[in-house]
Amino acid sequence: MTLSELFKTLKTLSKADLNSVKQFLESLDYNYNGFEDFLLSKKAENGISCPHCSSFNIKKNGHKGLMQRFMCKDCNKTFTARNNTITFSSKKSFATWKKYIECMMLGLSVRKSAEICGINKDTAFIWRHKILDALQNMASSVHLDGIVEADETFFAISFKGNHKKSTSFVMPRKAHKRGKQTHLRGLSHEKVCVPCAVNRNGLSIAKITNLGRVGAKDIYRAFDNRIVSNSILCTDAIACYNDFAKTNKLELIQLKTGKSKLGIYHIQHINSYHSMLKKWIKRFNGVSTKYLNNYLIWHNFVNYAKENYAEKTKIFTDFCFTTNKKSLSKEIPLRPSIPVISA
């Protein structure tokens, strides 16, 4: 039977029979496995747009297998609902991807997630960073308001990974022995600085900015235009926040060394955030610095956001599957070993 004959036969089936066919196809790891219905229903809420030029001027253009294909009338390129998404070209079922999202919500390791989902551990690792790269789109839209607490935390630089297979990476220092994280004491250039800020509504920002001690430029790199004007910024006594607060029209409350509270103003939430973050990173037995920004975003969403588990799982699933963010598998391991923000 040819494909055209199959389509003619399908048109003669009852609605109940078509549902049975659909359920059978969804049980297979074919191109059609539930993604299309999910993506089309979600994207239709805001209108389906061209992933190439963002135009809404589109028309239906046949099928790719059993998936609806579209053509953009402006750029004349064709696409399906999965173009430029993290599941593009994946042959794994929608159910497998959803199960993997649940594993990420629980903070499971790559090996454990791979075992639960029935996939290779290398695939599980690539999926983790494809999903977290998509989540970066959500994080970039976060703006803090109200009472905002800010402080920095530090992580020892990690070149974790199999460098023997790399043709371009050269270890810039001697490897550390187990149990010893850095050769130099204090805030040296062997540590990356991560400025963090939280408000009291469960929103948070955290990103690697520089090596060693934080400076005024680093505060701008992390928070400029991310904290709403007229908010109240609570920090410790470090001077580099003064100019930032003035420029961004923030009321600055600084607590002197030894003081933990000034009326309703304190930095206990950010201190608690740092404690949670350190525990989160520790559970993965060392995170390579090149991937640390993704783990920061992961922590912010799973552990710090105030929505309940079911709400966060739905937001996570809907956003990561529908946002236009496609990371190429082969490029993920090739990221800069220390992703500091350039001046």
Q: What whole-number distance in Å separates Cα of residue 90 and Cα of residue 301?
A: 25
Residue 324: count other Cβ atoms within 10 Å of its Cβ.
14
pLDDT over 90, % of the chain: 48
Predicted confidence (pLDDT) at residue 73 exceeds the cutoff of 90: yes
Q: What whole-number distance in Å separates Cα of residue 123 and Cα of residue 6?
A: 34
CA-CA distances (angstroms) from residue 322 to 10, 33, 49, 231, 339? 29, 16, 12, 32, 26
pLDDT in tens, 214-273: 999 999 999 999 999 999 999 998 999 999 999 999 999 999 877 778 889 999 999 999
CA-CA distances (angstroms) from residue 192 to 161, 272, 288, 319? 18, 20, 12, 29
Residue 90: count other Cβ atoms within 10 Å of its Cβ.
19
Of 227, 185, 226, 188, the closest CA to residue 210 belongs to 188
Which of the two residues, 24 and 323, has the higher pLDDT score? Answer: 323
pLDDT value of residue 226: 95
Of 202, 191, 218, 159, the closest CA to residue 300 belongs to 202
Predicted confidence (pLDDT) at residue 15 exceeds the cutoff of 70: yes
pLDDT value of residue 163: 64
pLDDT in tens, 97-129: 999 999 999 999 999 999 999 999 999 999 999
Q: What whole-number distance in Å separates Cα of residue 334 and Cα of residue 6?
A: 44
The helices-and-strands tally (H runs, E runs) of the chain is 11, 11
Pick the range with the lowest mean pLDDT from 59-73, 137-151, 298-312. Answer: 59-73
pLDDT value of residue 332: 86
Which CATH entry fits the domain spanning 92-165+184-343: 3.40.225.10, 3.30.420.10, 3.40.640.10, 3.30.530.20?
3.30.420.10
Which of the two residues, 2 and 202, has the higher pLDDT score? Answer: 202
Predicted confidence (pLDDT) at residue 327 exceeds the cutoff of 80: no
Which of the two residues, 29 and 187, has the higher pLDDT score? Answer: 187
DSSP state string for 102-144 = HHHHTT--HHHHHHHHT--HHHHHHHHHHHHHHHHHHHTT--B
pLDDT value of residue 128: 95
How many alpha carbons lie under 13 Å from residue 122 in its C-beta half-sphere?
Answer: 5
Element (H, E) at 234: strand 232-235
Give the predicted TM-score (pTM) of the model: 0.81
Q: What whole-number distance in Å separates Cα of residue 90 and Cα of residue 145?
A: 39
Predicted confidence (pLDDT) at residue 168 exceeds the cutoff of 70: no
